Amino acid sequence: MQRSSTKAPAISLRGVGKSYSGVSVLQNVDLDIAPGEVHSLVGENGAGKSTLLKILGGAIRADHGTLTFDGERTAIHGPRDAIRHGISLISQEGALVPALTVLENVFLGRWSQRLGFRRAREDRERFDRLLEFTGFDVDPDRRVDRLPTGTQQQVEILRSLARGAQVLAMDEPTAVLTEHEKENLLGLIRRLAAGGTTVILVSHFLDEVLKVAERVTVLRDGQLVITEDAALHTPATLVRHMVGRQIDVLYPEPDPVPADAPVRLAARGLGRGLVGGVDLTVRAGEILGIAGLVGSGRSETLRLLFGADRATDGVVELDGTALIKLTPRKAMAAGLALVPESRKEQGLVMARSVRENVALASLGGRRYGPFVRPAAERSAVDAASRAVDIRAAKTDAAIQTLSGGNQQKALFAKWLLRKPRVLLIDEPTRGVDVAAKTQIHKLIVELAREGMAVVVVSSEIEELLELSHRALVLRHGHVVGEFPRGAPREAVIAAAFGDVGETT
């Protein structure tokens, strides 16, 4: 689809560049995006995608170059300028006010008012109309910090729409969504574009990019490699531009679990709140997947297994012994590790260095008296960082200066260093680029081969079914099905939805 060239581009960048302490992360970017176009931005972790979006959204300022919106050359000095130009950024990190409700976040500063009084009913009606338009299902009265990440992001989208965004820039919006929610979001993007909204989409899911975008731009090491019609590309051609060479993105096959492998971790009747009566077993060397829709209790189940939330029912057993009154500290001492879903809230200390973060969980094991041995620590951290391919200028850099995907890899490395007997992983490759993703898959398969028991939650059905020996499906907090590796994904999706003649 070619746009007529008579229309002024909605956005025009010329010579845009950005450096951090002398290191250039974006160089000389020229880009025109038409009104109502869906434009996708792809590239490896650290390529500069988020940096570009943040410049558009006013979160950071470019060092060089010019920005033009609707033919008007402008400077964006901050988020307010961006909002004034109708640009709304849905960032990788999320930007909601945690202690406020969904409704308060969506209309913050833009309440319906008459004579200075808030008109609550009007806001609820506006909210309902937004829900209808987006197809989202969000409770307006819930506090946003109690919502799963996928739902929080929906709240951000609702807020952008409430502000009447002309340009919606989304940084990996589908990274935490399940198949159905992804499809819903792609449908919404199409509808928005058809209505004239310009959408810029950053994503590591290349097939999804090619489905929805009219044009695609590839960034590599801060430079624009190509901007072309999406119709000219396949995932493989995009990857070649992204990494500058041909690579295979294949799932490694896990080794069969030895017939005599002992049950390492078991849960019997485990429950709390929504999660009820979960039974599961994982043997040494086995990778068990947990599938389900957002809100089905997948992450909650992992948290119960780790004692991050205290189960009200049932028991967790390690090597046949019940872990009573389980807490994360006890779980860690017993050899369990949990790689959480949200790196910002649950996993990493943003202001600390990569090295400190990676070393954090395992310091105890390496401490001699009161002294940490810096040399041993450094080499162990470097090895773990290499294993997951963290790309940081130096390991002394603060975690917050790493790109999103590299932060995820750091979180993974942190738990690897502990060499747990049971690894619980929530969304192992969230925000990780295709090349690094294969690397993380290989690593998980390798760990299982060495006898680790692994439980993995992933919203990506394909990842789950290729990586796990078996996958359980949760619905409304209950196990509703079990599928072997390579089972048809449609069957798993149907089980997750309960499309089997039930009335709930």
Ligand X SMILES: Nc1ncnc2c1ncn2[C@@H]1O[C@H](COP(=O)(O)OP(=O)(O)OP(=O)(O)O)[C@@H](O)[C@H]1O
Residues at the contact surface with Mg ion, assessed by CB under 5 A: 50, 92, 404
337 scored as a contact of ligand X (CB under 6 A): no
Q: What are phi and psi of 279, to 5 degrees?
A: -110, 130
Cβ nearer to Mg ion, comparing 17 with 43: 43
Binding flags for ligand X, 424-453, as an x/- string (CB under 6 A): -------x-x--------------------
Residues 96 to 115 in contact with ligand X, rule: CB under 6 A? none
CB of 52 to ligand X, least distance (A): 7
Binding flags for ligand X, 139-168, as an x/- string (CB under 6 A): ------------------------------
Count of residues interacting with ligand X (CB under 6 A)? 19
Exactly one of 50, 153, 166, 301 binds ligand X (CB under 6 A); that residue is: 50
Residue 47's binding partner, choosing from ligand X, Mg ion, none, with beta-carbon cut-off 5 to 8 A by kind? ligand X
Q: What are phi and psi of 398, to 5 degrees?
A: -65, 140
Cβ nearer to ligand X, comparing 60 with 108: 60
CB of 330 to Mg ion, least distance (A): 36
Binding flags for ligand X, 378-417, as an x/- string (CB under 6 A): -----------------------xxxxxx-----------
- Neighbour order of strands in the sheet with 38-42: 87-90, 167-171, 198-202, 38-42, 215-220, 223-229
Residue nearest ligand X by beta-carbon distance: 405
Stretch that binds ligand X, among 46-54, 75-83, 296-304, 463-471 (CB under 6 A): 46-54
Using CA atoms, how far apart are residues 101 and 189, in angstroms rounded to an integer? 25
Q: Write the DSSP string, 215-260.
A: EEEEEETTEEEEEEEGGG--HHHHHHHHHSS-----PPPPPPPPTT
- The kind and range of the H/E element at 360 are helix 354-360
Cβ nearer to Mg ion, comparing 166 with 407: 407
Cβ nearer to ligand X, comparing 254 with 428: 428
Cβ nearer to Mg ion, comparing 411 with 455: 411
Pick the closest to residue 451 from 207, 243, 282 (CA basis): 282
Cβ nearer to Mg ion, comparing 50 with 178: 50
CB of 494 to Mg ion, least distance (A): 33
Exactly one of 9, 17, 36, 48 binds ligand X (CB under 6 A); that residue is: 48
The residues, any chain, with a CB within 8 Å of residue 383's CB and separated by 6 or more, are: none
Using CA atoms, how far apart are residues 399 and 343, in angstroms rounded to an integer? 10
Residue type, 317: E
Exactly one of 40, 51, 362, 458 binds ligand X (CB under 6 A); that residue is: 51
Cβ nearer to ligand X, comparing 167 with 434: 434
CB of 498 to Mg ion, least distance (A): 35
List the end-to-end C-alpha distance of the chain, in Å, as a whole number: 42
Helix (H, G, I), strand (E, B) or coil at 52: helix
Exactly one of 45, 88, 174, 178 binds ligand X (CB under 6 A); that residue is: 45
47 scored as a contact of ligand X (CB under 6 A): yes
Using CA atoms, how far apart are residues 251 and 391, in angstroms rounded to an integer? 22
Number of residues that make up the chain: 504
Cβ nearer to ligand X, comparing 402 with 496: 402
Cβ nearer to ligand X, comparing 37 with 433: 433
Q: Which own/partner pairs from 378-381 qualify as long-range (CB within 8 Å, at least 24 positions apart)?
A: 380/417, 381/354, 381/355, 381/413, 381/417
Residue 291's binding partner, choosing from ligand X, Mg ion, none, with beta-carbon cut-off 5 to 8 A by kind? none
CB 51 within 8 A of CB 18: yes
Cβ nearer to ligand X, comparing 20 with 133: 20
Using CA atoms, how far apart are residues 120 and 112, in angstroms rounded to an integer? 7
The residues, any chain, with a CB within 8 Å of residue 327's CB and separated by 6 or more, are: 307, 310
CB of 49 to Mg ion, least distance (A): 5
Q: Write the DSSP string, 421-472.
A: SEEEEESTTTT--HHHHHHHHHHHHHHHHTT-EEEEE-S-HHHHHHH-SEEE
Residue 166's binding partner, choosing from ligand X, Mg ion, none, with beta-carbon cut-off 5 to 8 A by kind? none
Residue 353's binding partner, choosing from Mg ion, ligand X, none, with beta-carbon cut-off 5 to 8 A by kind? none
Using CA atoms, how far apart are residues 333 and 413, in angstroms rounded to an integer? 18
Binding flags for ligand X, 14-43, as an x/- string (CB under 6 A): ------x----x-----------------x
**Which residues of this protein are in contact with ligand X, per CB under 6 A?**
20, 25, 43, 45-51, 92, 401-406, 431, 433
